[in-house]
């Protein structure tokens, strides 16, 4: 039997002294930001300083609304001098998920994605959980900390997004945390964050996607080409999943010298993370959950494999590569 949340909390807090300066690194999305906020709250007055830094540029409308309305303090990693910190934590991710994490010796890893074999003095990886926000809510309750309305709203929204309103993987612990947090949230803030789904800049990419999509056997494939940010691909992949009789969506684009591929499915006897890992893991970072996954491949890795400057050729290559594994 695994350690209780109270025992894990005792070990977590035991890592720190008052002089420590903690850097929490995240790949920012609602669940990661909420989890980082919760860890910062747990260590309030236990360390001298805590900084939350994001490896990605935050551009998704709901993420920006969350930062603005909940007054989150998240800074880009490029603005952080990592040498100024004594402890390092990674929340809602693991070191192998992105090369930006690979050179850091983390003291803390807390995640709900499949275990990649990472090692750290403190680890809490629970792949069966729907959201890391659920794990962090359990830590807050074990600490007898009543979350502020801002923190509760962040965690509440983190669970909503990562479980897709409980339409994808979730367990009773997620439901219990969601019900507990509901008593503490600011419902008006939560509604404003959730309604911020799209920007005017995204609309031109929706037009490209609608005009160039390929539909085959309940699957939609579309390669958009260069995008202003990779969240465009996420937004369009989620949108296509709302279409009747569509079981898979594959949306790709090019951003800052990388091929971004976003996959969504209906979760019925499918595994998007495994599909991307097997299809593209040898040439880039690829993985995720059964219902949602992501791959990022440096374009230089595609040299000699496909003419990636040719949008149609690249689109056909992606379809073939993925279809081989389905």
Residues 32 and 95 in one domain: yes
Mean pLDDT of 12-24: 97
Helix axes 132-142, 30-42, angle to 10 degrees: 20
Question: Would you say residue 259 has pLDDT above 60?
Answer: yes
Report whether 206 contacts 239 (CB < 8 A): yes
The pLDDT of residue 196 is 81
Mean pLDDT of 243-268: 93
Residues 118 and 179 in one domain: yes
Residues 116 and 149 in one domain: yes
The pLDDT of residue 326 is 61
* Total Cβ atoms within 10 A of residue 16: 18
Compute CA 261 distance to the chain's CA centroid, rounded to the nearest angstrom: 14
What CATH number has the domain bearing residue 292? 3.10.310.40
In terms of Cβ atoms closer than 10 Å to its own Cβ (0-12, 13-18, 19+), residue 298 is middle
Domain residues for the domain of 230 are 203-323
Mean pLDDT of 83-90: 96
* Total Cβ atoms within 10 A of residue 14: 10
Residues 124 and 244 in one domain: no
The pLDDT of residue 1 is 45
Mean pLDDT of 86-105: 91
Mean pLDDT score across all residues of the chain = 93
Gap between the Cα atoms of 169 and 127, Å rounded = 10
Residues 54 and 14 in one domain: yes
- Which tokens is 15 given? 């890592």
113-162 confidence digits (pLDDT tens) = 999 899 999 999 999 999 999 999 999 999 999 999 999 999 999 999 99
Mean pLDDT of 77-89: 95
Percent of the chain with pLDDT over 90: 78
How far CA 21 is from CA of 40, 82, 204, 239, in Å, comes to 11, 10, 44, 41
151-173 confidence digits (pLDDT tens) = 999 999 999 999 988 877 789 99
Residues 260 and 160 in one domain: no
Task: Please identify, among 145, 169, 195, the residue that sits at the C-terminal boundary of a domain.
Answer: 195
Mean pLDDT of 269-275: 88
Question: Would you say residue 295 has pLDDT above 70?
Answer: yes
Going by pLDDT thresholds of 50, 70 and 90, the confidence category of residue 218 is very high
In terms of Cβ atoms closer than 10 Å to its own Cβ (0-12, 13-18, 19+), residue 255 is middle
* Domain total of the chain: 2
Task: Please identify, among 173, 195, 217, the residue that sits at the C-terminal boundary of a domain.
Answer: 195
Residues 64 and 208 in one domain: no
191-212 confidence digits (pLDDT tens) = 999 888 777 888 999 999 999 9
Residue 316, helix vs strand vs coil:
helix
What CATH number has the domain bearing residue 147? 3.90.1640.10
More confident position, 240 or 290: 240
Residues 73 and 160 in one domain: yes
Residues 140 and 239 in one domain: no
Residues 303 and 182 in one domain: no
Q: What is the pTM of this model?
A: 0.73
Going by pLDDT thresholds of 50, 70 and 90, the confidence category of residue 38 is very high
Residues 186 and 70 in one domain: yes
Residue 239, helix vs strand vs coil:
helix
Question: Would you say residue 325 has pLDDT above 80?
Answer: no
Question: Would you say residue 61 has pLDDT above 90?
Answer: no
Task: Please identify, among 178, 195, 212, the residue that sits at the C-terminal boundary of a domain.
Answer: 195
219-238 confidence digits (pLDDT tens) = 999 999 999 888 899 999 99
Residues 163 and 217 in one domain: no
């Amino acid at each position: 039997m695994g350690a209780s949340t109270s025992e894990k909390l005792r070990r977590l807090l035991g890592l720190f002294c008052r002089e420590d300066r903690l850097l929490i690194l995240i790949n920012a999305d609602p669940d990661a930001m909420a989890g980082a906020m919760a860890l910062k709250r747990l260590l309030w007055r236990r360390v001298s300083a805590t900084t939350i830094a994001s490896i990605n540029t935050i551009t998704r409308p709901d993420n920006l609304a969350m930062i603005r309305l909940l007054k989150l303090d998240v800074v880009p990693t490029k603005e952080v001098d990592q040498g100024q910190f004594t402890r390092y934590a990674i929340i809602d991710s693991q070191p192998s998920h992105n090369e930006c994490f690979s050179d850091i010796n983390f003291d803390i890893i807390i995640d709900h994605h499949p275990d990649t074999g990472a090692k750290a003095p403190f680890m809490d990886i629970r792949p069966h959980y729907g959201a890391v926000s659920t794990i962090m809510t359990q830590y807050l309750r074990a600490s007898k900390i009543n979350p502020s309305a801002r923190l509760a709203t962040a965690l509440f929204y983190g669970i909503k997004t990562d479980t897709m309103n409980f339409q994808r993987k979730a367990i009773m612990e997620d439901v219990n945390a969601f019900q507990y947090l509901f008593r503490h949230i600011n419902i008006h803030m939560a509604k404003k964050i959730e309604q911020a789904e799209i920007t005017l800049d995204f609309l031109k990419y929706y037009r490209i996607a609608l005009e160039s999509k390929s539909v085959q056997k309940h699957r939609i494939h579309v390669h958009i080409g260069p995008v202003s940010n990779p969240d465009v691909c996420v937004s369009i992949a989620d949108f296509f999943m709302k279409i009747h009789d569509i079981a898979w969506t594959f949306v790709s684009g090019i951003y800052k010298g990388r091929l971004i591929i976003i996959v969504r499915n209906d979760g019925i006897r499918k595994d998007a993370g495994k599909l991307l890992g097997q299809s593209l893991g040898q040439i880039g970072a690829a993985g995720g959950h059964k219902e949602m996954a992501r791959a990022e491949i440096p374009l230089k890795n595609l040299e000699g494999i496909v003419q990636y400057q040719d949008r149609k050729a690249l689109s056909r290559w992606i379809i073939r590569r993925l279809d081989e594994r389905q």
